[in-house]
Structure formats: structure tokens, C-alpha cells
Amino acid sequence: TVATTADLVAGARATGRGVAALNVIQLEHAQAIVTAAERCAAPVILQVSENAVRYHGGDVAPLAAACLALAERSEAEVSLHLDHATSLELCRTAAAAGFSSFMIDASALDDDENTRVTREAALWGHENGLWVEAELGEVGGKGAHVADARTDPADAADFVAATGVDGLAIAIGSSHAMVTQSAALDLELLRRIRSAVSVPLVLHGTSGVPDALVAEAVVSGITKVNVSTQLNRVMTDAIRSLLSDEPDVVDPRRYLRAARAAVEQQAAHLISLISRPTAA
């Protein structure tokens, strides 16, 4: 069923769980993630980044329609979220296509500009019934490397009060697009931010975080957990190994089926880790 991100995040927070927000680039990702959520009997957020929309020629509608159709037919609760958006125009088309939330990413700007852009986006989002996420203290890995960035608890509280956002992405040591799970998280800082800030907290760059630390982060106050690279890594590994074992393959279904199965397996692992962190 189609859920809103607001409800999934609130539900997770109320029960001390996390909710997995897994990135979709193409149809096979969405199919695999929704099937994984059903297997785990847990909700999931399908998120599409502005970058992924760019890959699809700048039009969010085809991928949105696929995600929405899968969500409608699923036994699992599934919401649609626009990830790392810099354009309000894209937020508007995504909302019209069934997305219930977006992240406005102005984290590359200085803090004052970030606050101004984010406040405007949150105002607009709330007028349109959307759940709005923003970031303070840039999580690195997208171009410039700023894995050393840290979000200050008092600044975070001020930023949330000044912008009115519903969820806050914080920098506590993770970095985008890591292919090994070797990041260290500052859990002490996370707990301080958790007590300073009222809204749900979001972890970006989770692919680089060891499983046990992901579970600890949820227990220590992270609610929405974003993962992308891990899914792409298992997807690409599956394709590479199938094509090297069977170099004569022509039909894309042969390798995309293997890729989809690999993503489903990894997504199920992540959803259970994040939605039942104390079992980890």
C-alpha cells in the first residue's frame, strides 16, 4: 500500500525502530526493494535522487509511475521520497507524481544560505502537505570529500527552529558512496544531537557503515536510514559475474534477473537490520 513518509518515519520513531530509505535508479531496484519489504513484513521508503532523475532525462514521471504502481499493489507499506533535491521545480513534479516527501539539499551552501533556501522549501512543502528533510553539516562523498564534517548539536536545534523542517540529516562520520563498510560513527555526538533536536534524524551514506554500527545508530536516535551504494554494488557484482561466466549472453533479462535477485537479498538484509535494530 502507498504510505506517506511522514507516517512511516513517525511510526518508526514511536517504536524505537528505523525505517530504511533505499535508492531506486531503475525498475529492477524498485521491484527488488518492494519484494524485500514484503519478505520482512516491514515498511520501506523508495527514494529517487535528483541525480537519478537526471539519468532518466530529467523526467521523474516514468520512474515515479513504476514505484507508485508497485507500492499500490504491495502488501508492504511503501512511500516515495525525492532524495537530494536542489530544484523546487523537481519537488513540484515529484509531488504531482505521488511523492509524499523530499529532501532539499542546500548543504553545500554556507549555513545562512542553507537556512534561507531550506526555510523557503519547507514553507512550500508544508503548503503542499509534504514531509521535508534537510541537511546541516555536509555529509561528504559527493564530489568534494568532507567526511570530517560534524553537525553541532546547538546549531542543529537552531537550524530546525529557523527552517521548520520535519527531518534532519546530520554529519556524524558517514560519507557517501563508500564501497567498504569502514566508516566510524560518532555515537556520542549523535546522542547529543538527539537530545538537542526534536525532529527525526536521518543518516546518509550508510553504505560505508558496518552493520552493527547501523543498528547502534538507530538505537541511539537515527530514524531514517538512507542506503544506495550497497545495493548498486551487489547489483553490479551480480551482472559482472554472470557476464564473465556466460560471455555469450545477449538477452538483458539474463543478467538483470540476477541483478534484481541480488538487490532483493541485500535490501531484505538492510530492512531487517534497520527495522529491528535490537535483534542485530
Binding stretches for ligand G3H (CB under 6 A) = 23, 83-84, 176-178, 204-208, 226-230
Residue 177 interacts, among Zn ion, ligand G3H, none and using kind-specific CB cut-offs from 5 to 8 Å, with ligand G3H
In terms of CB distance, is 83 or 152 closer to Zn ion? 83
DSSP class per residue in 203-234: E--GGGS-HHHHHHHHHTTEEEEEE-HHHHHH
Shortest distance in whole angstroms from residue 270 CB to Zn ion? 15
CA geometry: angle at 82 spanning 80 and 84, to 5°?
A: 150
Q: Is 81 in the site for Zn ion (CB under 5 A)?
A: no
Shortest distance in whole angstroms from residue 108 CB to Zn ion? 12
Choose, from 7, 59, 83, 158, the residue flagged as catalytic: 83
Shortest distance in whole angstroms from residue 155 CB to ligand G3H? 20
Q: How many residues bind Zn ion (CB under 5 A)?
A: 1
In terms of CB distance, is 23 or 151 closer to ligand G3H? 23
| Residue 42, C-beta contacts closer than 8 angstroms, at least 6 positions apart | 20, 76, 271, 272, 275, 276
Q: Which of 278, 279, 274 has the alpha carbon at shortest distance from 33?
A: 274
In terms of CB distance, is 35 or 232 closer to Zn ion? 232
Burial of 203 (C-beta count, 10 Å sphere; 0-12/13-18/19+): buried
In terms of CB distance, is 183 or 199 closer to ligand G3H? 183
Q: Which of the ranges 25-33, 60-68, 196-204, 241-249 carries the binding residues for Zn ion, by CB under 5 A?
A: 196-204
| Residue 188, C-beta contacts closer than 8 angstroms, at least 6 positions apart | none
Q: Is 192 in the site for Zn ion (CB under 5 A)?
A: no
CA geometry: angle at 28 spanning 106 and 178, to 5°?
A: 45
Q: Does 176 show up as a binding residue in the annotation? A: yes
In terms of CB distance, is 86 or 229 closer to ligand G3H? 229
Q: Is 152 among the residues known to form the active site?
A: no
Q: Which of 21, 2, 1, 80 has the alpha carbon at shortest distance from 200?
A: 21
Shortest distance in whole angstroms from residue 65 CB to ligand G3H? 22
Q: Distance between CA atoms of 106 and 159, rounded to whole angstroms?
A: 12
Check if the beta carbon of residue 35 is closer than 8 Å to that of residue 76: no
Q: Is 204 in the site for Zn ion (CB under 5 A)?
A: yes
Shortest distance in whole angstroms from residue 3 CB to Zn ion? 21
Reading phi first (left if > 0) and then psi (alpha if -120 to 50, else beta), residue 169 is in beta
Q: Does 126 show up as a binding residue in the annotation? A: no
Q: Does 75 show up as a binding residue in the annotation? A: no
Q: In which residue are the cell numbers 557484482 written?
A: 237
- Quick one: DSSP state of residue 277? G
Binding site residue list? 84, 105, 135, 176, 204
Catalytic residues: 83
* List of residues contacting Zn ion (CB under 5 A): 204
Binding site residue list for Zn(2+)? 84, 105, 135, 176, 204
